[in-house]
A and B are shown apart, each in its own frame.
Chain A
Amino acid sequence: MFAWKNLRSIIVAACLITFVASVTLAGGVSSKDDACELAGATQALYRGDYRQAESLAESYLKLHRSSTAGLTLLARAVIAEGNYQQGLKLLATATQIDPKNVDVLYFLSQISALMAQQEFHELQRLNPNSFRVHQLMAESYRSRGDIADAVKEYKEALKLAPNSLELLVAIADLERSQFHFQSATTYYSQALKVSPRNYVSAYGMAVSYLYLQQPNAAIPYFRLALVCDPRSAAAHFGLGDALLRIGDLKGSVAELEEALRLEPRMRQAYSLLARAYGRMGMLSQAQKALAASERLSQEEIKSRQRVIDNDTIIPLGPR
């Protein structure tokens, strides 16, 4: 399964590295009627005659005020002329008229990414030594998978803004992703000093302790995470795991069941639940949980196999 998180990192990469907006190139009009009537404007756009494209699209829009194809074409023409703000406005109007138009959304994403880049350049011009510049560089490295440089840049940023919750959490998450749990706990604990009721920090801290085989230390942080977000299936699961490790079987079962109530397809929760029931001598429940875990596991294998068979299939997210 290609998760949204992965897709997000790709988009961020596109925005932060060398995004080239192809607003003038990538075609797309809504209907055949629109296509015919806007053909002149489209041709003008492709041949680089943006003024002409703009003028033709404007004439078309006088007759068809709410044509998303017309608005999109006009937007692309004005963007090509360098008027990004106007282009954004036109595309925003188009998406309000037809929120499900993927062409409009595509061009809106393109111009937004371009304008993001512009603002980041502006940030650099206004304050080249800002911690934000280092933070952006870190995020850019991270999106490319260059973790070592990302950590380096985050640390530079942190020197300039030692109490930035965003930075502390980002660097802690990164350390955790690299299995540097001890280091992660240092940053999470600093983050919790800045913001004592921050879910991400509390959860990250708890998970790090769990990986460090310190369930007793993890438990209060899972509980804190649940105070911040009682509907977090992940935190209930983590707490159930930690309680199981210290032998609090009843507590563990309660948390794992809650995790499954919130997220019924959480395979790992079934697996731990089976273990907990087993240790409590509740063998039939243990078998049922184990069967559910195995069924979900088979489904995961099949789904993974489908992705391997067709590398170009796109993420299909939750349907």
Chain B
Amino acid sequence: MLGIMMAAMVLIPRVIAAQNSNSPQSPLPVNLQARFRAGVQALKSDRLTDAQHIFEEVIRAGGETTAVHTNLGIVFQMQHEHTKAIAEFRRAIRLDPDDESPYVLMGASLLSLGQISDAIRQLNKATLIAPNEPLARLELGKAYLDADQPLKAVEQFQILRRISPDAAEYAYELGIAYLKLAEWCTRNIQRIDPRSVRLLQVMAEGYRAQGQLDRAKTLLESAVREDPKLPGLHLEIAEIALQQGNTQVALAEVRKELALVPQSAAALALESRLKQEAR
């Protein structure tokens, strides 16, 4: 919802600008322009009911333009009246199919209504019209996350980061998308093979990060029992043992790792470190 509000706020000036520029659509009649500006002012000041009445009045008086419908849609969106908002955005699109703003806004409203695939369709149209429009990428990325398609979300947020490399918020969004991708992978591993050694590993790594070293070690030991030849497990146990100050166990585990993978640079390095510490 915050995203929608933000989208709405940011797009207002653009819509106004479009109104005053050489829009492909017929311009707003001169006698309605002052009223339209009053509506924009009301919208900016959060007087949503006033804004709604003014824009409806402008439309009734013949001011049927993309900008007016888009702004009326924004008003409805901010009032959480998404169905009405969508209807206005559709009208705006009919008048000017090449303006990306109503597609982005409609996508956000569709997302709020849980109509994710429709939202994705509209937001994709927006990115085709304006590939470098950050809000379109942002909303599309969020839509893909809602659709549980984190790989596609990552793609959108990566583009967003390229478009606006200095925007901290987008770094956050991309980070979250990566995190969701990691979760999605683990969820799928769990679904495909609930007893997978990989799942044990993921959990062990999580416990290790939480400082629950004993639990992490127990899980890794279970993983070894399940797949004694999988490289990396003994090494992880060795690292945990070292963290726990148990050098002897660490050394024994690292040797087991080397028995499996004699050339393992990481295991050799740990062994050498452990030997030095033992001296």
Tell me whether chain A's interface is mostly helix, strand or loop, or mixed: helix
> Which B residues, 204 to 243, have Cβ-Cβ distances below 8 Å to chain A?
205-211, 218-219, 221-222, 230-233, 235-236
Chain A's nearest CB lies how many Å from the CB of B233?
8
Chain A's nearest CB lies how many Å from the CB of B160?
11
User: Does A198 lie at the interface of the complex (its beta carbon under 8 Å from any beta carbon of B)?
Assistant: yes
User: Does B192 lie at the interface of the complex (its beta carbon under 8 Å from any beta carbon of A)?
Assistant: yes
Interface window among A17-25, A174-182, A203-211, A217-225: A17-25
In Å, the complex CA distance between A109 and B199 comes to 11
Q: Is A123 a contact of B185 with CB atoms below 8 Å?
A: no
Report the count of interface residues on B (CB-CB < 8 A): 59
Interface code B14-34, partner A: CB below 8 Å = 1, 0 otherwise?
000000000000000000000
Chain A's nearest CB lies how many Å from the CB of B197?
9
User: Does B186 lie at the interface of the complex (its beta carbon under 8 Å from any beta carbon of A)?
Assistant: yes
User: Does B249 lie at the interface of the complex (its beta carbon under 8 Å from any beta carbon of A)?
Assistant: no
Q: Is B2 a contact of A13 with CB atoms below 8 Å?
A: no
Chain B's nearest CB lies how many Å from the CB of A24?
7
Known: A22-B232, A26-B230. A14 touches B209 (CB 8 A): yes
Q: Is B172 a contact of A132 with CB atoms below 8 Å?
A: yes
The chain A residue sitting closest to B265, CB to CB, is: A48
In Å, the complex CA distance between A197 and B192 comes to 36
Interface code A88-106, partner B: CB below 8 Å = 1, 0 otherwise?
1000100100011011011
Chain B's nearest CB lies how many Å from the CB of A92?
5
Contact residues in B for A117 (Cβ distance below 8 Å): 175
In Å, the complex CA distance between A95 and B188 comes to 11
Q: Is B205 a contact of A47 with CB atoms below 8 Å?
A: no
Q: Is A123 a contact of B194 with CB atoms below 8 Å?
A: no
Q: Is B198 a contact of A105 with CB atoms below 8 Å?
A: yes
Interface window among A250-258, A291-299, A307-315: A307-315
Chain A's nearest CB lies how many Å from the CB of B226?
10
The chain B residue sitting closest to A161, CB to CB, is: B2
The bracket for how many chain A residues form the interface is 35 or more
Q: Is A116 a contact of B179 with CB atoms below 8 Å?
A: yes
From B185, B231, B261, A112 is in contact (CB under 8 Å) with B185
The chain B residue sitting closest to A24, CB to CB, is: B266
From A119, A130, A144, A197, B174 is in contact (CB under 8 Å) with A119
User: Does A126 lie at the interface of the complex (its beta carbon under 8 Å from any beta carbon of B)?
Assistant: yes
User: Does A264 lie at the interface of the complex (its beta carbon under 8 Å from any beta carbon of B)?
Assistant: no
Contact residues in B for A123 (Cβ distance below 8 Å): 168, 171-172, 175
The chain B residue sitting closest to A132, CB to CB, is: B172
User: Does B203 lie at the interface of the complex (its beta carbon under 8 Å from any beta carbon of A)?
Assistant: yes
Interface code A1-35, partner B: CB below 8 Å = 1, 0 otherwise?
00010011011111111111010111110000000
- Which B residues fall within an 8 A CB radius of A? 1-2, 80, 151, 154, 166-169, 171-172, 174-176, 178-179, 181-183, 185-196, 198-203, 205-211, 218-219, 221-222, 230-233, 235-236, 261, 263-266
- Which A residues fall within an 8 A CB radius of B? 4, 7-8, 10-20, 22, 24-28, 43, 46-48, 88, 92, 95, 99-100, 102-103, 105-106, 108-110, 112-113, 115-120, 122-123, 126-127, 130, 132, 136, 143-145, 163-166, 194-198, 311-312, 314-317, 319
| 24 residue pairs bridging A and B, Cβ less than 8 Å apart | A4-B190, A7-B206, A8-B183, A13-B206, A18-B209, A26-B201, A27-B231, A28-B230, A43-B263, A46-B265, A95-B151, A105-B185, A106-B185, A109-B189, A113-B182, A126-B171, A136-B172, A136-B175, A144-B211, A164-B2, A165-B1, A195-B80, A314-B190, A317-B191
